[in-house]
Amino acid sequence: PGPSSGREPVVAAPGRDPEDRLRRIEAVTDVALSKLDLADMLDELLDRIRVPVRGCRRIVVLSRKGGAGKTTTALMLGHTFATYRGDRVVALDANPDAGSLAYRVRRESAATATTLLSDDSMTARYCDIRAYTSQSMESRLEVLASDDDPRISRALGEEAYRRILGLLDRHY
């Protein structure tokens, strides 16, 4: 193998035929693609994902409708950024109806956003905050869970979420 270009190779998921992927994309988009086109497109997307940014950035996934894919979208965005960037990435489950984001990664901590708020004076360092999150082993995405009891989550107001975001902003 020659010198690395610094890019990760484009590899098909196990059990998936790259030709099948191309046929699916062509069918949906009505655009003819070659393997080379797809590899170039993925490389360009990875370059865009890896653009350095300063400071903390927030992405909000929001909808009034249940079952619209908010949790899945937030999870996949988080996994994507955590996998392809060197930054720490955390997803805060702020669903007022007992969100399920924390159950989509291996649960390492029983702590929730409410627990973090009650202990906020003991969270000066990243390792202090890390005790409140669960982390995906595959992507390094960290998740801060919402409470399982919707009455607790609904009771958190704007000021409480501002405090939580302030704590997270210092380390992510």
- Percentage of residues in the chain with pLDDT exceeding 70? 81
Local confidence band at 2 (pLDDT 50, 70, 90 cut-offs): very low
> Mind listing the pLDDT tens digit for each residue in 70-123?
999 999 999 999 999 989 999 999 877 777 888 899 999 999 999 999 988 888
Least confident of 9-13, 19-23, 45-49: 9-13
Least confident of 30-44, 61-75, 158-172: 30-44
- Residue 70 belongs to what H/E stretch? helix 70-84
| CA dist., res. 91 & res. 79, Å (int) | 10
pTM exceeds cut of 0.75: no
| CA dist., res. 106 & res. 160, Å (int) | 26
| CA dist., res. 18 & res. 7, Å (int) | 19
